[in-house]
Amino acid sequence: MIKGLAPLAAGLALAVAMQLSAGPIIGPFAVKLLMDIGINVILAVSLNIVNGFTGQFSIGHAGFMAVGGYVAGCFTYYGSYLIWGAPRVQAGWLSGGDLLFVGGCLAGAAVAGAAGFVVGLPSLRLRGDYLAIVTLGFGEILRVMLQRTGDVVTSAEEVRAASWPTLATSLGGSLGFSGLPYYTDLFWVYVFVAVTLLVALRLKFSSLGRAFLSIRENEIAAEAVGVNTTRLKVRAFVLAAAFAGIAGGLFAHEVGTSLNPRELGFQKSFDIVIMVVLGGMGSVSGAVLAAIVLTLLPEALRGFSEFRMPIYALALILMMILRPQGILGLREVWELPWLRRRRS
Amino acid sequence: MNSNVTRIPTTIALTLALVSGLSGCGGNKPAEGGAGAGSAASPAGGGGGGPKPAGGTILIGHYGSMTGSEATFGQSTDNGIRLAVRERNAAGGVKGKTIELKTYDDQGKAQEAGTAVTRLITDDRVTAILGEVASTLSLAGGRVAQQYGVPMISPSSTNPAVTQIGDMVFRVCFLDSFQGWVEAKFARETLKAGKAAILYDQSQAYSKGLKDYFKKAFEYQGGIVTTEQAYSGGDQDFSAQLTTIRATKPDVLFVPGYYTDAGNVSIQVRKLGITVPMLGGDGWDSTQLAAIGKDAIEGSYYSNHYSFQEERPEVKNFVEKYKADYGRVPDGLAALGYDAARLLFDAMDRAESLEGKTLGAAIAATKGFKGVTGIISMDENRDAKKSAVIVQMKGGIPVYVTTIEPPQ
Amino acid sequence: MTKFLQTLMDGVAVGSLYALIALGYTMVYGILQFINFAHSDVFVLGAWISYTLAVGLGYAAADAEPSVLAAVGILLAAMAACGAAGFTIERLAYRPLRRAPRLNVLITAIGVSLLLQNVGQLKWFFGTQPQRMPSVLADRVLGSVAGVQVHLVDLIGAGTALALMLVLDRLIFHTRLGRAMRAVSHDTTVAALMGINVDAVISFTFVLGSSLAAAAGFLYAMKYPGLNQPAHATWVLLGLKAFVAAVIGGIGNVRGAMLGGILIGFIELFGAAYLSPHLRDIYVFSILILVLLVRPSGILGRAVAEKV
């Protein structure tokens, strides 16, 4: 099912198909929801590597998303000024502008991964819960730092004259990094979704994944059989942070989003954690399912206004009590018993 | 184990190689996002699902914070808009059609604001958008409106960046640059203040912007800003900042935050024995300011879009109707919501069609519109050039002090 | 000098409130090993109940006569009500998950937090408008030391907090019930084998923590009378800082929580007064990371090796 490059090719084909056909068929609002879903899938699946596979508890995922978003935004926004003289979308699909955007996303992933290493290394040496508080603290520190950044530079001459450190700290402050070109489309979202899913699935069924799971099941026993727990925990954490960085880059360049410090705080992190737990800790397809459900649910409830959040909260509590293992538990969709029986 | 460990990065590398290889080939299909920017889906156009039956109605959308920590902003604005819609429909509607209003809650979150506006435009197919109060949210929503070519009027976002988004975004309120100047002028000339201290909310772009403009204007007019202290919106304890402020012995204390914080600030200001007058911006405008601040807020001044005590007929008429419908005195946000909606209807009357570009041009051409909050003319930046009033808190209500006209 | 004394006094006043809230976190963590995210919402609930009672008793009127008796009554009533709320929350939401993974309990706690927060915003409860807590106590300036005014409200706030902490300390270290709590916190299974009713002890812990949160809520509302239900982020952040206080003091350690609370109050206020008010939220979390690096078990905590 997940061997070789076939699934990746399938994912790419799907992404291309969506890109070409989805817009005219389902309309722009559905396209936006599909992109939101895709970004949430990347976030949930990547956090699942830390929270689900290794059983650690990170609640600062939105912080890494912010790091990735701001780095990618810096790349495309100031990069566009330097190259084309204006931060407009350039030429369309798979040409210069797109490459700058993807480069920005990957740079965002790299910086977010590095941030993950810095945050994770000290706290992962300690007991699990400390990671939770430190990641939260990291998110808060990041928020205050971003609020203190200067206004976005808005003319080509000023951008050319400014030094790199100046540009890197001109991120809009509390107003948010506004004016980023809209590069995110279904193709890029689902290319990265495919990559994330593939990495997560291959990881889960590899020996490294088993080592991750052993940490989750019993850290002391894992250590006793020779698993270097700290190193693996940090590795999982960095990987997850890097994917969150990519999601941040996609988020930053999507229509109708806003890259500002208040948005990517602990509440966004909570949302992602909820997706992971709802889907089933350690289940990749469960995280996907939960990301879809939890992106669509608030939209479906939008008409209920003040009852929207109480309903959501109540559903969450009931779900945890009635089905504590989440929708799928550790299993994947194709491992469900009734699907298996049918197949054989 | 080791062999598999090394396979993971290989997978990533392969994937990336494949992706970049693909992009190297260069697609020749047009980009979804890129195309959307230029061709601008008109409200009735766009994808599948088919156009909704127009019937005899014109749908307009409002997005606002109906819940969340600035809920009164959204609720007041919505009340004002609804009043205008009812009035207009009773008078026969626009172009013979009934106006229908659809309001979405954005919980005071920018992400939600963006999604709500996208939904209003692409799913509900509204003709025009009204909203938001907070500048950060108007920026998120405004960029979407601009992208799809649907006109948006912000009733009360005062940050200059909002209308800089593009030719589809308008506002009916004054700008922070003007408001900061008004308050500096009032502090210098009427209060005769030589030294001002500032306490602002660093988490709100509105507060930070207003602070910057006030400081510039105040220093330009010969005053001295003794210290700039900051808090984060929702903070409850300001003692450290106020202790520093007290030591600088200012003549006036400028607090350009929202009413939720201003009330709390005033209590602690008086408790620390600082007796100088406080000065605030239009973010102070709420009945809850007096409810929280009580005697501590008495005697403080703030600039606003209008005062319900003004003698102009538009104001009297509006206040009377609003009181009859909602049972309370309208605040500035309700008045701006009312004005934004009425200005939109006025532009619809003048526009040949309700298509985005045409309607936008009609709004931009608005000159001398008599609103509750003053005479509104759109300038070349799609901002309203108009006067501001200064009110003083006396006996729990904001009492009209003076009107300050924009410099010619 | 004036600035230093003023900051010192404010630090104690703010810190003692952090300490009261931190106690709830540390006790629950000591027994169930999870961060009770709903704790800060119980605290806010306590503030609102105090507000409702004070308004109900007619203290919103301008000519209301402040009375110590009414203040004590409101305090006790709010503590009782929040104790009941804490009991209910534990019974309905947390107990069914006793054997579930800790992460599930945590999500449930976030769910309870969201529920309390958003139900409180409905117009049948506290609404979305901020309200002013009526002054139940007369606020007088008691005296002035080097230009610093000492307010009665601050003194009563810190005094009540201190008294409650002493009572709690007595309860935990000098009663049978306290011994049972310490036993459960040490090892649940063994405690159960020794004949301790673990469920009852856990319930009692929640009641205790929640009523302390309510007391903090009342004192908080006295000191900062503007109550704003929808300002969710503010309350979560406040709760987080209290939790950080518990961690710095040594999680699971009651005396550590008190010490940590006062410490956090000082760090925050001295940082804001002498370094920069812009970075206020950063100080607390920077100190947290520093403590975790240098002394992960907290100031008063003992390093315990994980049981096999």
Across the interface, whether the CB atoms of A219 and C306 are under 8 A apart is answered yes
In a domain, A27, yes or no: yes
pLDDT of residue A326: 78
Please report the DSSP string for A294-313 in residue order: HHHHHHHTGGGGGGHHHHHH
What is the reported pTM?
0.85
Tell me the backbone φ, ψ of residue C109, rounded to 5 degrees: -60, -40
Question: DSSP state, C92?
Answer: I
Which one is predicted more confidently, A220 or B70?
A220
What chains are in contact with C, requiring at least 3 Cβ pairs below 8 Å? A, B
Per-residue pLDDT tens over the stretch B146-203: 989 999 999 999 988 899 999 999 999 999 999 999 999 999 999 999 999 999 998 8
Check CB contact of B377 with chain C, cutoff 8 Å: no
Quote the tokens at residue C70.
Answer: 């009414």
Per-residue pLDDT tens over the stretch B275-300: 999 999 999 988 888 888 888 999 99
When pLDDT is cut at 50, 70 and 90, the band that residue A25 belongs to is: confident
**What's the CA gap between A96 and A74, in Å, rounded?**
16
In a domain, A289, yes or no: no
When pLDDT is cut at 50, 70 and 90, the band that residue B6 belongs to is: very low
Quote the tokens at residue A310.
Answer: 């109480």
Check CB contact of A225 with chain C, cutoff 8 Å: no
When pLDDT is cut at 50, 70 and 90, the band that residue C63 belongs to is: confident
- Spatial CA neighbour of C264 closest among B237, A148, B271, B234: B237
Chain B: residue whose CA lies nearest to A7: B15
Contact list in B for residue C232 (CB cut-off 8 A) is 69
Report which secondary-structure segment, H or E, holds B170: strand B169-171
The minimum CA-CA distance between A57 and chain C, rounded to whole Å, is: 8
Domain boundaries, position A184: 6-266
Q: Where are the beta strands (DSSP E) in A132-182?
A: none
Best of C133, C144, C228 to mutate (most B CBs within 10 Å, chain B): C228
When pLDDT is cut at 50, 70 and 90, the band that residue C100 belongs to is: confident
The minimum CA-CA distance between C233 and chain A, rounded to whole Å, is: 8
CA dihedral sign of residues B304, B305, B308, B311: positive
- Spatial CA neighbour of B383 closest among B162, B116, B141: B162
Q: How many domains does chain A have?
A: 1
When pLDDT is cut at 50, 70 and 90, the band that residue A170 belongs to is: confident
Contact list in A for residue B16 (CB cut-off 8 A) is 106
Average pLDDT on C138-147 reads 75
User: Nearest by CB to B67, which of A182, A183, A306?
Assistant: A306
- Where in chain B do CATH 3.40.50.2300 domains reside? 40-174+314-386, 176-304
Would strands B252-254 and B369-371 be described as parallel, antiparallel, or unpaired?
A: unpaired
What is the maximal distance between C-alpha atoms in chain C?
Answer: 65
ipTM here: 0.85
User: Nearest by CB to A133, which of C106, C244, C306?
Assistant: C244
Across the interface, whether the CB atoms of B260 and C228 are under 8 A apart is answered yes
CATH code reported for the domain at B40-174+314-386: 3.40.50.2300
pLDDT of residue A128: 65
Residue pairs spanning A and C at CB distance below 8 A: 123
Quote the tokens at residue B296.
Answer: 């501590």
Q: List helix spans (H) across B91-149.
A: 110-118, 135-148
Per-residue pLDDT tens over the stretch C223-235: 888 888 777 778 8
Beta bridge partners of B388: B404
Average pLDDT, chain B: 84
Check CB contact of C278 with chain A, cutoff 8 Å: yes
Q: Report the side by side order of strands in the sheet with B388-394.
A: B224-231, B195-201, B252-254, B278-280, B301-304, B388-394, B397-404
Identify the CATH number of the domain in which residue A94 sits: 1.10.3470
Q: Is residue A190 helix, strand or coil? A: helix
The minimum CA-CA distance between C2 and chain B, rounded to whole Å, is: 9
Q: Is the pLDDT of residue B309 over 80?
A: yes
Check CB contact of A134 with chain C, cutoff 8 Å: yes
Long-range contacts of B268-271 (CB under 8 A, 24+ apart): B268/B237, B268/B238, B268/B239, B268/B242, B269/B238, B269/B242, B269/B296, B270/B295, B270/B296, B271/B296, B271/C139, B271/C151
Would strands B98-105 and B57-64 be described as parallel, antiparallel, or unpaired?
A: parallel
In a domain, A281, yes or no: no
- What percent of chain A has a predicted confidence (pLDDT) above 90? 27
In a domain, A20, yes or no: yes
- Spatial CA neighbour of A261 closest among A341, A153, A168, A145: A145
Q: How far is CA B135 from CA B140, B142, B171, B176, B236, in A?
A: 9, 10, 11, 11, 23
Scan residues 35-74 of C and list those with Cβ closer than 8 Å to A. Answer: 35
Chain C: residue whose CA lies nearest to B290: C132
Would you state the torsion angle of the CA atoms of residues A231, A233, A237, A240, taken in this order, to the nearest 10 degrees? 110
**What's the CA gap between C281 and B231, in Å, rounded?**
10
Tell me the backbone φ, ψ of residue C193, rounded to 5 degrees: -65, -30
Across the interface, whether the CB atoms of C128 and B71 are under 8 A apart is answered yes
**What's the CA gap between C16 and C13, in Å, rounded?**
6
Chain B: residue whose CA lies nearest to C282: B232
**What's the CA gap between C293 and C295, in Å, rounded?**
6
Across the interface, whether the CB atoms of C149 and B272 are under 8 A apart is answered yes
When pLDDT is cut at 50, 70 and 90, the band that residue A340 belongs to is: low
Chain A: residue whose CA lies nearest to C242: A133
In a domain, A176, yes or no: yes
Average pLDDT, chain C: 86
Quote the tokens at residue C90.
Answer: 């534990």
Helices and strands (H, E) in chain A, number of each type: 14, 0
- Spatial CA neighbour of C83 closest among C180, C278, C217: C217
User: Nearest by CB to A140, which of C101, C122, C281?
Assistant: C281
Across the interface, whether the CB atoms of C237 and B244 are under 8 A apart is answered no
Across the interface, whether the CB atoms of C114 and A281 are under 8 A apart is answered no
pLDDT of residue B35: 33
Omega before B132 within 30 of 0, i.e. cis: yes
Length of chain B: 408
Check CB contact of A317 with chain C, cutoff 8 Å: yes
Q: Is the pLDDT of residue A149 over 90?
A: no
CATH of B176-304 given 3.40.50.2300, 3.40.50.12280, 3.30.2320.50, 2.30.30.700: 3.40.50.2300
Check CB contact of B288 with chain C, cutoff 8 Å: yes
**What's the CA gap between B393 and B263, in Å, rounded?**
12
Across the interface, whether the CB atoms of A316 and C110 are under 8 A apart is answered yes
The minimum CA-CA distance between A147 and chain C, rounded to whole Å, is: 9
Show Cβ contacts of residue A34 under 8 Å, excluding neighbours closer than 6 positions: A18, A22, A26, A186, A189
User: Nearest by CB to B237, which of C139, C224, C278?
Assistant: C224
Scan residues 140-159 of A and list those with Cβ closer than 8 Å to C. Answer: 140-141, 143-145, 148
Scan residues 216-235 of C and list those with Cβ closer than 8 Å to A. Answer: 232-233
User: Nearest by CB to B241, which of C234, C270, C272?
Assistant: C272
Angle between the A61-84 and A229-252 helix axes, to the nearest 10 degrees?
Answer: 50
Quote the tokens at residue A175.
Answer: 């107003």
Report which secondary-structure segment, H or E, holds A197: helix A186-204
